[in-house]
Structure 1
Amino acid sequence: MLTIRAPAVAGTFYPGLATDLSDDIAALLANAAQDRAKPPKVPHDTPKALIVPHAGYIYSGSTAALAYQCLAAGRQRIRRVVLLGPVHRVPVHGLALPGATAFDTPLGRIPIDTVAVAALAHLPQVVTSPAAHAQEHSLEVQLPFLQTVLDRFTLIPLAVGDATPREVAEVLELLWGGSETLIVISSDLSHFLPYRSAQKVDQDTVQHILQLDSHLTHEQACGGTPVNGLLLAARKHQLQPELLGLCNSGDTAGDKIRVVGYAAVAFRQGGHHEH
């Protein structure tokens, strides 16, 4: 029986009409392609993993697009997306699956990878919580971008609550796969600091990410737990991080009194990482 997780923030965090949404994403991706300050180190090497922000598109869509426009070369090859983001509304212990067979957005339906879900069943840190997913935006806002830049793919969505970085890394390891699998970690950076303070804090946080330092706090990144788990896995797999963009809401659509930070980071296969 189909169990569909309906969109919860369409019309608020992003446009609710498919035509408007497609137009917005196309514009964001086109701008991102032009705004890259430098070409990627390996232009045709599709990232294995991304860190992307999850605010409304008016605030962080331009930063998220910097990450998603890197996936062009993997459009047909990527067939599975492992998507992790922090819970904002319903607390959970561990990493929560939605108990659904598909996610809907205005752009269509994305099937859940039921084989992968079954493979996670033996892990004690993996639970099922439809409530944790029902109103959660951190995962949902990534889906229209993924539907735009990829062809057909299945999804493994995990809403991360009270867990350790090692527990997250264990889940990622089980789902790691090959070039057909993309890992997306949804996280904003600092919250509600004055503009200049946020810039300093976020620049420091990004340096820790680029050093694969898996000790970020939730004050540095609201998705600190899944980010830390990815950084542990990235170190093990010798992924090389690249900062694609860094800004805050004061640079996009908000005031500069209390801002939220956003970064886009790509992780590619490589023999070393930058310090």
Structure 2
Amino acid sequence: MFDYTYQIISISFVVIREMEVCMKYRTAAVAGSFYPATADQIDQELSVFLNAPSESTTQAKALIVPHAGYCYSGAVAGYAYSYLKNIAHNINRVILLGPSHRVALQGCAISSCDFFTTPIGPIPVDKSAYTQLLDEKLVTINDQAHLLEHSLEVQLPFLQRSLQNFVLVPIVVGQCSVQHVSQILEILKVNEPGTLVVVSSDLSHYHPYQEAQLLDNRTIQHILNYEDHLSGQGACGCYAVNGLLSYAKKQHWPIKLLKKANSGDTFGSKKEVVGYASFILY
């Protein structure tokens, strides 16, 4: 007698395997350079960075964090991510915005991938959010913009170790208006519970130490004042930061500077430094 049960099980395995093959993964591009190459090494570093004190009553709605190599800016970023430890169970979606370093980009770009991976593992992408943004013509699909982009990738291990189960909406932000980014946040209803916005941005680049401190302090004050006209000279993620500040001002989100430093304070020369700062909006 023909074993239909065996046939059904066999077909099911084939279907599942084909579905897995059809899934697209954006693989880690800067593991081993910007941050450690293995999950154990990542955990070892992040255990230090994520051990900063935090205010348990602060319910983060958004973070602004730097994106250099962990040896340079990891402590500044980690200080902000430490604020998630007491609310991790409430966050199930992360809107991640960062600048394009390798592709000349107009507007905002999403990826066709279903998962973004790090040595820790894969993170599922919220495809329904992508559909909303595509329907509104606020983004385009551009895998090249995501392929080697580190500004988003370096945030992923922090998110994986700070949160529990979450889906990701990774967006590379090129040249665009304040209103464009603000509209993305409005369409995605980031003010509703369960969503965290993370904007990835460093501050000034390659100035002498004391000059950089003056420039960065000025940029920090602009951010604290919700001034949405930052330029790339003050913050490399200026377009995303400007859009977030515009949106946050309308929503009456308070903003607080958490930590600041530059590469001369951490691991680099003081002749040409890169500035870093982290903020929480709540």
SS of structure 2 residue aligned to 1:92: coil
For the residues of structure 2 that align with 1:70 and 1:184, how far apart are their CA atoms?
Answer: 13
Q: Give yes or no for contact 1:48–1:182 (8 Å, CA) kept in 2.
A: yes
Shift of 1:45: 2.3
Shift of 1:177: 4.6
For the residues of structure 1 that align with 2:58 and 2:71, how far apart are their CA atoms?
Answer: 29
Q: Give yes or no for contact 1:85–1:223 (8 Å, CA) kept in 2.
A: yes
SS of structure 2 residue aligned to 1:121: helix
For the residues of structure 2 that align with 1:26 and 1:179, how far apart are their CA atoms?
Answer: 27
Tell me the equivalent position of 1:2: 23
The answer to whether structure 1 residue 234 and structure 2 residue 248 are counterparts is yes
The one-letter amino acid of 1:128's match is I
The one-letter amino acid of 1:172's match is L
Q: Give yes or no for contact 1:195–1:258 (8 Å, CA) kept in 2.
A: yes
For the residues of structure 2 that align with 1:163 and 1:18, how far apart are their CA atoms?
Answer: 36
Match of 2:132 among 119, 137, 147: 119
Q: Deviations over 1:173-211 (max 9, x none)?
A: 111151200000000000000000000110010011001
For the residues of structure 2 that align with 1:162 and 1:122, how far apart are their CA atoms?
Answer: 20
Relative to the length of structure 2, the TM-score reads 0.90
- For structure 2, the 5+ residue unaligned runs are 1-21
Root-mean-square deviation (CA, aligned residues, Å) is: 0.9
1 or 2, which has the higher helix percentage? Answer: 2
SS of structure 2 residue aligned to 1:22: helix
The answer to whether structure 1 residue 244 and structure 2 residue 265 are counterparts is no
The one-letter amino acid of 1:119's match is Q
For the residues of structure 2 that align with 1:58 and 1:80, how far apart are their CA atoms?
Answer: 27
For the residues of structure 2 that align with 1:18 and 1:149, how far apart are their CA atoms?
Answer: 14
The answer to whether structure 1 residue 224 and structure 2 residue 238 are counterparts is yes
Tell me the equivalent position of 1:81: 94
The answer to whether structure 1 residue 163 and structure 2 residue 184 are counterparts is no
State the structure with more CA Rg: 2
For the residues of structure 1 that align with 2:79 and 2:101, how far apart are their CA atoms?
Answer: 24
Q: Deviations over 1:228-268 (max 9, x none)?
A: 00000000100000000011000000010000000000001
Shift of 1:164: 0.9
Tell me the equivalent position of 1:272: none
Q: Give yes or no for contact 1:93–1:125 (8 Å, CA) kept in 2.
A: no
Tell me the equivalent position of 1:182: 196
Tell me the equivalent position of 1:21: 42
- For structure 1, the 5+ residue unaligned runs are 34-38, 269-275
Tell me the equivalent position of 1:267: 281
Tell me the equivalent position of 2:205: 191
Shift of 1:124: 2.5
Question: Identity rate of aligned residues, in percent?
Answer: 46
Q: Deviations over 1:51-105 (max 9, x none)?
A: 0000000000000001000011211110000000000001222110011101010
